[in-house]
Structure 1
Amino acid sequence: MLDQILTVGFLTAFLSAAVRMAVPLAYAGLGETISEKSGILNIGMEGVMLSGAFFSFAGTFFSGSIPVGLFCAAAGGAAVSMIHGILSIRLSKDQSVSGIAINIFVLGVTSFLYKLMSGGQSYQQIQPIMRLRIPVLADIPLIGNAFFYQDILTYLLYFMVVGVSFFYKKTNTGLSFAAIGENPRSADSAGIPVYRYQYISMILNGVLGGIGGAYLVLVQVGNFSENMTSGRGYIALAAVILGRYVPFGMLGAALLFGSANALQIRLQAIGVPLPSQALSMLPYLITLAALLGSVGKSHGPEGLGKPFVRGAR
């Protein structure tokens, strides 16, 4: 069994699968990083991803166009995220309660809409997005095939992580967004439009989370099923915490969780003599272990989860 695992073929397939499993987590985690940098905790990321998955399937199925499906996913995710934004920003409601309520609400709505669409029958598979090979880079031993023989959404993610990191570190606007999460009252006193920036952050949160959900449909499985996110929204939240609220750290954490998921799939494929239920627990056990290991080492924005009311003391 060990001889099967320690082969170039196994490791190459494992790394490729790990990247594919990590991409939806990284999209959702990047969206959550943006919202948390502005002080809004969106536990409803599970609902945002599920909305993106459903509307990407519906949009692609009825239009026959993957770009239309992606647009529907982004719009659906943004709409769900904005519900949370209105409750958290305008109405100053508890952000944790709002997020959990959204998760439950979206699960019910997408299940209901899917049953209306299908009429009790299964739809044909959507043709998944094809993978694109990048010459030279894809020939790098072991990692080339994993990172540079992927789909267009994966390559877009690489640029987005770099872009978001540059935005927060090197631009005045990015520093203003970060200042809102640390101390919204001071930011407001300095003339930064706190509410406007928070709403923008929530729109971006929804768009990225929706694309993360769409990845499951348009790249991984080519179909929609009820509750197909299966806790990935919560794992994305854990990736943000473990990654210390920075894009590259979040990406590394997403790759860790993606590797755990890919490992349990590959171990089942080669027939490791363990119950499948035990192997399926592996990604969540590693998530818990990683979070326990980060206790006391990760500090979020000071204003995270605290409603800002202009003029209140």
Structure 2
Amino acid sequence: MSQLLEATFWSATVAGGLRLATPLIYASIGETFAQRAGVLNLGLEGYMIIGALTSLYVADPTVAPLGFLVGGLAGMLLAAFMVLLSIRLYANQVVVGFGLTILGIGTTGYIFRVTTDVGGRDRQVSLPSEVDIPLLSDIPWLGDALFGHSWYTWLALGLVLVTGFIASRTIFGLEVKAVGEDPDAAAARGVDVVRVRTMATLMSGFLGGLGGAALMLGSVGRFQPWLTANRGFIALIVIIMASWSIWGAAVGAFVFGFFEALGFNLNNVFVDVPVEGLNAIPFFVALLILTASARWARMPRGLGENYVPTV
């Protein structure tokens, strides 16, 4: 119990929360763009799991950055089916999204089993070393908590700045918002709705694949079926909590990661409490925040509705 009063406990919890939030940051940012464009892209879990396996199989004989990139491309390839079926052929977005999740989970599980001998050594990669920021990483407590992370985390944080600027300060970002709110009105003003939704959906697939790759190469290092553990659906919750804001999605990802890390660390403090109860802490907190934020959250008006050109 006294461990809760120690600075090292909370430093480790904050650091662990940021590491656990890293895959969610990638996935939630990409999905935010898709949903702001009006595409309810529920295949996010599939993008993450296929990105995770692909990144491992590429990084194992080569280098981790290449595996990371190819993992993102694998997620984007799966998202192309969403573009074809829902954006081009007007199929129900919810059905297609769940179908892609099932396809991604099933495909990766099958490939992993047929390429891994029974009783053999699973493919695995070494986890990356921390990239410390000079001087800042030497600050007591804060240095260990905030300024000593792998390049996957630093890239995710940099991506928040870049995508936040794109969403609010560029023509593409404004077009994404316009087609998500009222695609007919956007089309009347000369915006190519199909093109914008296609780009946003492919971006969601790419960043979702990067999220799975970051989980695989940056946190776990060894693949198992269901590795992503529903993190794609957690990212969907984060987006609603953040009211479809890029910055809010990043903060929401960290909040979930922090309480997930807290649950893990509390296992060493309250040894008599069931592990399942402590591991449920982040989901309970997410439910509370989701309930509270439902009062002011406003989703894009065109979310989930297919756009059919009139000409």
Question: 1:15·1:143 contact (CA, 8 Å) conserved in 2?
Answer: no
Q: Which amino acid aligns with 2:204?
A: N
Residues in 2 aligned to 1:271 and 1:125: alpha-carbon distance in whole angstroms: 32
1:165-213 alpha-carbon deviations (Å, 9 max, x no partner): 1112222232112111111111111111111111111111111111110
Question: Which residue number corresponds to residue 63 of structure 2?
Answer: 65
Pairing partner for 1:117 from 115, 118, 140: 115
Question: 2:137·2:143 contact (CA, 8 Å) conserved in 1?
Answer: yes
> 1:50 offset after TM fit, Å?
0.6
Residues in 1 aligned to 2:171 and 2:82: alpha-carbon distance in whole angstroms: 27
Q: Give the 5 Å matches for 1:62-141.
A: 63-120=61-118, 121-141=120-140
Residues in 2 aligned to 1:263 and 1:91: alpha-carbon distance in whole angstroms: 45
1:33-75 alpha-carbon deviations (Å, 9 max, x no partner): 11111111111111111111111111112x3311221122011
Question: 1:187·1:194 contact (CA, 8 Å) conserved in 2?
Answer: yes
Residues in 2 aligned to 1:295 and 1:124: alpha-carbon distance in whole angstroms: 43
Residues in 1 aligned to 2:20 and 2:254: alpha-carbon distance in whole angstroms: 8
RMSD: 1.4
In the superposition, relative to structure 1, how do residues 155 and 123 fare at CA in structure 2: closer, same or farther (>3 Å)?
same
In the superposition, relative to structure 1, how do residues 238 and 143 fare at CA in structure 2: closer, same or farther (>3 Å)?
farther
In the alignment, structure 2 segments of 5+ residues that lack a partner are: none
Q: Give the 5 Å matches for 1:142-291.
A: 142-291=141-290
1:249-285 alpha-carbon deviations (Å, 9 max, x no partner): 1111111110111011101133442111111222222
Query: After TM superposition, which residue ranges in structure 1, 4 or more long, deviate above 4 angstroms?
Result: none
Q: TM-score, normalised by structure 2?
A: 0.96
Q: TM-score, normalised by structure 1?
A: 0.95
User: More deviation in 159-168 or 284-293?
Assistant: 284-293
Q: Which amino acid aligns with 1:83?
A: F
- The SS at the match of 2:308 is coil
Question: 1:42·1:95 contact (CA, 8 Å) conserved in 2?
Answer: yes
Question: 2:56·2:124 contact (CA, 8 Å) conserved in 1?
Answer: no
Question: 1:126·1:223 contact (CA, 8 Å) conserved in 2?
Answer: yes
Question: 1:184·1:303 contact (CA, 8 Å) conserved in 2?
Answer: yes
> 1:147 offset after TM fit, Å?
2.4
In the alignment, structure 1 segments of 5+ residues that lack a partner are: none
- The SS at the match of 1:269 is coil
Q: Which amino acid aligns with 1:86?
A: L
Q: Give the 5 Å matches for 1:30-49.
A: 30-49=29-48
User: More deviation in 276-285 or 232-241?
Assistant: 276-285
Residues in 1 aligned to 2:205 and 2:294: alpha-carbon distance in whole angstroms: 28
Residues in 2 aligned to 1:167 and 1:64: alpha-carbon distance in whole angstroms: 32
- The SS at the match of 2:229 is coil
